[in-house]
Structure 1
């Protein structure tokens, strides 16, 4: 009788299984997953309450979309913690030297990168849905009569937040492959998010235009749906293009550089 061995018949599945095991056998993964959810849930009610109080104080009746409140929280706060989870898939191995064993087990470096991408992408996609839900609902309740709930839009924004967090985490894996150092990778991930926002705030037309095609601003426009200079799907395409480019850059460096 023939035994069907997935890791033998399908090397990518074996590599994915190995990366999945490595990810979930360290305690930092659980702490970062739980911390990301809490970081999203904790400020959401206060953000909704602040907006409602501002309306009351100013005598306004501005309606706010809870998905926008959650999207802003996900963009400015949660993604760095998710980036920390993603970067550890590479920087931890370089830090301990276990990358040598990994490359012996999976000598095809493109397959290795793809396996890490599949694992962190799947984990953070699910995380993203959870994070979005725990951000939308607590933000909506304090808004009260100032809440403009549009179920279709909320559903789209929950999905957009999940996709944005997923793509950001995969991109961070490629950054970590290029940089190797955990502090430098996290600093770069922060700059990738912060610098385009500064460029937009500068008001200088060339900088503003350039910032619109960075992964951070493309992703933010995708989350906010109708606030960007281009349709929301274009924002996702911009972010995806950076992810694809990051994969090929990381593959090139990983092929040419010693472990």
Structure 2
């Protein structure tokens, strides 16, 4: 048995450190929260997401006005809710927050700091649970703030083609926050499984964007139905509150199932592989 210089087993020293920081899981969450906010990548990702959300919302507002006021009635958007502009911008902005979520674990493998993390928190399930909670909170709060700011910034450009009804707007903003939270957890799970930032980003990009777009453009009904059950398509149905395939709440459940499956796979990989 390995013994510390004070004569206590190393495991006891680790447990004592966890207890001093608020208990096993609370202490792990506190540690992961601190790590998340003390690395530059978190701030750069959030800044990038804010800039991209602002630009995307402004562009979508201009596009809506131009579509309504041109001579072609086929592309008229009509009066749109301010919150729907932010939902439309999610297609782009989500990849910045996905990058933030996956880096919270893949960066530790690339730098080797995962060894220190697992030394201080040897129960690997607690490590993943703590990271999951941190990613969910950061993603959710960032999604809400970005959606609120972006939609309000776009409202003046929409003019009489935009409407602001607080209950509907709040529902849209919260829906974006929920989506960003869950898609972030999904990304974390894939990152825990693959460990590589490049590999994780490629897989997520394929699952979230390329595969569903290809299936939807196939013109084959069976493939289009498969696309309906991919995470981004299900999440979009939830945020927009509409879907021809299933109720919006089922879209959230499908997205959550993808996140849970990714976490489960990541947990298995974390337990079976050496750091």
Distance 1:202 1:59 in 2: 27
Distance 2:61 2:29 in 1: 40
Structure 2 spans left out of the alignment, 5+ residues: 1-15
Q: CA deviation at 1:6?
A: 9.5
After TM superposition, the score normalised by the length of structure 2 is 0.87
After TM superposition, the score normalised by the length of structure 1 is 0.92
Of the structure 1 ranges 224-233 and 111-120, higher mean CA displacement relative to structure 2 is found in: 224-233
Matched, 1:93 2:108: yes
Structure 1 partner of 2:267: 251
Q: CA deviation at 1:106?
A: 1.1
Distance 1:116 1:23 in 2: 9
Q: CA deviation at 1:67?
A: 2.0
Residue from 71, 90, 95 that aligns with 1:80:
95
Q: CA deviation at 1:137?
A: 1.3
Distance 2:40 2:230 in 1: 33
Distance 1:84 1:169 in 2: 9
Q: Which runs of structure 2 are paired with 1:232-251 in the superposition (5 Å)?
A: 232-251=248-267
Per-residue CA distance 1:27-48 (angstroms, 9 max, x = gap):
1111111111111012212211
Structure 2 partner of 1:143: 158
Q: Which runs of structure 2 are paired with 1:13-92 in the superposition (5 Å)?
A: 13-58=26-71, 62-74=78-90, 76-92=91-107
| Aligned residues of 1:80 and 1:189 also touching (Cα < 8 A) | no
| Aligned residues of 1:19 and 1:115 also touching (Cα < 8 A) | yes
CA RMSD of aligned residues (A): 1.7
Structure 2 partner of 1:210: 226
Q: Which runs of structure 2 are paired with 1:69-218 in the superposition (5 Å)?
A: 69-74=85-90, 76-194=91-209, 195-218=211-234
| Aligned residues of 1:45 and 1:141 also touching (Cα < 8 A) | no
CA 1:149–1:197: 2 relative to 1, 3 Å: farther
The structure with the largest alpha-carbon Rg is 2
Structure 1 spans left out of the alignment, 5+ residues: none
Q: CA deviation at 1:59?
A: 6.6
Distance 2:81 2:220 in 1: 30
Higher relative contact order, structure no. (Cα contacts within 8 Å, ≥ 6 residues apart): 1
Q: CA deviation at 1:153?
A: 2.0
Of the structure 1 ranges 65-74 and 109-118, higher mean CA displacement relative to structure 2 is found in: 65-74
